[in-house]
Structure 1
Amino acid sequence: MASRTSNFCIDAHDPRAQAAWWAQVLDDFVPDGEDDEDEAGLLGPAGRSLLFLRVPEAKTVKNRMHVCLRPVDRSRDEEVDRLLGLGATVVDDLREDGAGWAVLADPEGNEFCVLTTQADEAGVARS
């Protein structure tokens, strides 16, 4: 049998602030209630979690692994606008003619992508 994911760890200067920010971004992750000054977590589907761990050093290079988000109840562009309003910043905008994605960064500079919706990729008109 192969391994299964337990959690994904993300380095942070302020784990609580990062967990609170990502809780606003992801509707399928909720605070685990067991955070302290060195780590804070969000519980997600199937028992998987995001765990933010305090580290002393600042982020200096591009992430080797990142989260890709797919909007559920709004368009990709509407979701990008919402996330920018929450404090994300644009790293690279690869959106073109209804395709592509936007690369954003969270308040501590960790990159993530916002993809098109599944309906957009399937060519289904949204109502």
Structure 2
Amino acid sequence: MPSAVRHITVNCAEPYEPYALAEFWSAVTGCPVHPEDERGDDEVGLLPLVEGGPMMLFIRVPDAKGEARNRVHVDIQPDTTRDEEYQRLLGLGATLVSDERKPDGRGWIVLADPVGNEFCVERSQAEKDEWDREHPDEN
């Protein structure tokens, strides 16, 4: 029998608090903070938007993120354009790590959340569909 992904766990070191990081990711994803979780908790979860989907879980850890690239990260696909979402996320407190957008519109943007966990912003499905229509021989 296969295993299901139950949590996507994000480490959170002082001085940033798990609840504050969960609020950031709640604003990014639209997933609400678990109603039983409170400021000061060592573990804070986000309820999945889809029943049975994995929860994002934010856990207090004693050590800061090292300089190495994350081994696991989240890729998000906005319902607006990639560039609009990029600006929104910067406003929420994300920082730019690298810009991997290509001149033809493909690619992604690597951001970091307030504690340095990296994640990528991809093109929206509408942007991908438009590119596919305009470039049928390159699919």
Does the pair score TM above 0.5? yes
Structure 2 residue runs of 5 or longer lacking an equivalent are: 134-139
Q: Which consecutive segments of 4 or more residues in structure 1 shift more than 6 A?
A: none
- The superposition leaves residues 50-80 of structure 1 with CA deviations (integer Å, 9 ceiling, x where unpaired) of 11000010001211000000011x1000000
| 1:21 CA displacement | 0.7
- Residue 46 (str. 1) matches residue 51 (str. 2): yes
Match of 1:81 in 2: 87
8 Å contact kept, 1:34–1:41: no
- How far 1:99 sits from its partner (Å)? 1.1
**Is residue 26 of structure 1 aligned with residue 29 of structure 2?**
yes
Residues 85-117 of structure 1: CA distance to partner in whole angstroms, max 9, x if unpaired?
111000010112321100000000000000001
Equivalent-residue separation in structure 2 for 1:8 and 1:99 (angstroms): 26
* TM-score computed with the length of structure 2 as normaliser: 0.83
Bigger shift: residues 103-112 or 35-44: 35-44
| Structure 1 residue 46 displacement after superposition | 2.6
How many Å separate the matches in 1 of 2:74 and 2:59? 16
Q: Which residue of 1 aligns with 2:18?
A: 15
CA-CA distance at 1:3 after TM superposition = 0.7
Pairwise CA RMSD: 1.4
Q: 2:128 aligned to 110, 121, 124, which one? A: 121
Instruction: State the partner residue of 1:95.
Output: 101
Supply the distance in 2 between the matched residues of 1:46 and 1:53 (Cα, whole angstroms).
22
Larger Rg: 2
> Normalized against structure 1, the TM-score is what?
0.90
